[in-house]
Amino acid sequence: MNALPRPEGTALGASPIITLTVTLTLNGRPIATQAEARTNLADLVRDTLNLTGTHLGCEHGVCGACTILVDGEPARACLSFAAACQGADVVTIEGLDDDAVTAELRAAFNREHALQCGFCTPGMLVSARDLVLRLPEPDETRIRLGLAGNLCRCTGYAGIVKAVASVIAARRAQGIGPVTAERRLGPVGARVGGAAAIAVPLAGIATLAAPLATAPILADAFTPAHSFEQSFEVPFPPADVFAFFSKIEEVAACLPGAVIDAMPAADLVEGGMRVKLGPIGTTFRGRARISRHEATASGIIHGAGADGRSRTEGEIRYRVEPGPAAGSARVALTVGYTLKGPLAQFGRPGLVREVAGRLVADFAANLEARLSGAPTPAAGPGLNPLKLLAALISQRLGALWRRIYPAS
C-alpha cells in the first residue's frame, strides 16, 4: 500500500489528501483499488466497487445496517477505514448468496415475517449468521443481546428472533454444533500483519499533516466571531500576579492540558492543548504571540491551532487590578475566538463560555497554589471535555431543582 499525496489537497490551510492502494480479498476475489486514506469500508464497497447490498444508515456504528464480515467476524463497515483492511478477507451480503447458513436464515426470515422494508436486513443477516454459528442453543435472551447492535424500525424484532432461534434449533437437531473458533478482540485491522501493513503509510500521513497543525498563520488583525468576559480573584498582590504571568512555562503548567514545545522568540510560543475523550487523546497544535504592557498591568495572548480537521483562532486580553480584599488581585479576561471545521458544531457561545469558566476556575486554583510556594502542578492527561460537560449538566440540574423546590 503506497501513499500518494495529491498536491491540490495540500493548499494553505487545508488538510493533505492522501490516496492509497488498498489490496484485499472481497467475496473471494482479489481486489486492488485506489482510495483516499479517509475512505471507510462501506463507501469503498458501495461507491467504488458497486456492491450496494451493504446499506448505510446512521454512519456512526449504531444501527448495524452496514455490518459485513472482515476475516470472518462481523464489523461495522462505516467505522472501518478501508486502509485498515489491507490484506483482509472481506465478505459482504452479496458474498453470502451461496452460503448454507445464510440460505437457511433467508428462508426463516420469510417464514417468520422477519422483514418488511428490508433496509436493515443485510446487516441483520450477517449478525444473525454469526449467532447461528456461535450459540450452542436457541436462547432468546442471548439472541436478543446479540442482535442489539442491529436496529429495525419495522418489525418489532419478534419475527427476527424466532427466525434465528429456529435455524439454531434445526442445526443443533441435525448434530451441527457451534463453531468455537477463537474470537479476536480489537478494531478492524488489529490482526497480526494488518497493523504492520498500515504503519508506514499512516506515519507518512502524520508527517505531511504535521506542518499544517503546528504552524498556523496568526492574523495581524484578528476579529473574533464570538467573545465573552471572565474574571477570577486570588489572595495575592496584583504586582506578584502580573509578574508571574511573565513566566510562560509556569503559567502553561497551571492550565489543564497546555503543552509548550518551543519558544522561537521571547514573544512567540509553539505548543498545543491536549484533549482526552475516553481512551482517545489528541493535541491541538499551534502557536501564540504574547505581548505585555507593564504600565497598565495588562497583556494580550493571540493564538491559533489545528488538529488536522478543525482550526481555531483566539485572543485573550487580560488585566490585573486590585481585588476587593486588601492584598488581593482580580484578573479580568476578555476572550474572543473563531472556530472552523467539525469542531465548530460544538462551539455554541453559551457552551464555550461555561466550559471556559470551568477552565478558568481550575487555572485560578493552580495559580493560587503556585503563588503560595507549592510546586508547579504536574502535567495531567489533558483537557477532558466530557468531564467538563458532565459537571456543567450536573450544575444546571442542581440549579433547576433549587428553582423548582426552593428551600423553605
Domain ranges of the chain: 3-198, 215-404
- Per the listing, cell 497598565 goes with 296
Going residue by residue through the chain, which has 408 residues, state the pLDDT in tens, using 9 for 90 and above: 444 444 444 454 455 677 888 889 999 999 898 888 889 999 999 999 999 999 999 988 899 999 999 988 899 999 988 988 888 899 999 999 999 999 999 999 999 999 999 999 999 999 999 999 999 999 999 999 999 999 999 998 999 999 999 999 999 999 999 986 555 444 454 444 444 333 333 333 333 333 333 345 666 677 888 888 889 999 999 999 999 999 888 888 888 778 788 888 888 888 877 655 444 455 677 888 899 999 999 999 888 887 665 677 888 899 999 999 999 999 999 988 887 765 555 556 666 666 677 778 888 888 888 888 876 555 454 455 555 555 556 665 666 666 766 665
Q: What is the rounded distance in angstroms from the CA atom of residue 168 to the CA atom of residue 276? A: 43
DSSP-derived letter for residue 40 is B
pLDDT of residue 127: 94
- Per the listing, cell 483482509 goes with 88
Within 335-384, where are the H helices? 349-371
Q: pTM score > 0.95 for this model?
A: no
Amino acid at 178: P
Gap between the terminal Cα atoms of the chain:
71
* Nearest in space to 86 (alpha carbons), one of 27, 29, 28, 41: 41
Element (DSSP H or E) covering residue 17? strand 17-26
* Topology of domain 3-198, CATH: Ubiquitin-like (UB roll) (3.10.20)
Q: What is the rounded distance in angstroms from the CA atom of residue 56 to the CA atom of residue 61? A: 10
* Nearest in space to 269 (alpha carbons), one of 292, 285, 293: 285
What would the CATH number be for the domain defined by 215-404?
A: 3.30.530.20
| Pairing mode of beta strands 329-340, 311-322 | antiparallel
When computed from its CA atoms, the radius of gyration of the chain, rounded to whole angstroms, is 28
Amino acid at 281: G
| Helical axes 158-173 vs 121-134, angle rounded to 10° | 40
- Sort 100 into a burial class: Cβ within 10 Å, 0-12 / 13-18 / 19+: exposed
Strand order in the sheet with 298-306: 226-234, 329-340, 311-322, 298-306, 280-293, 268-277, 258-265
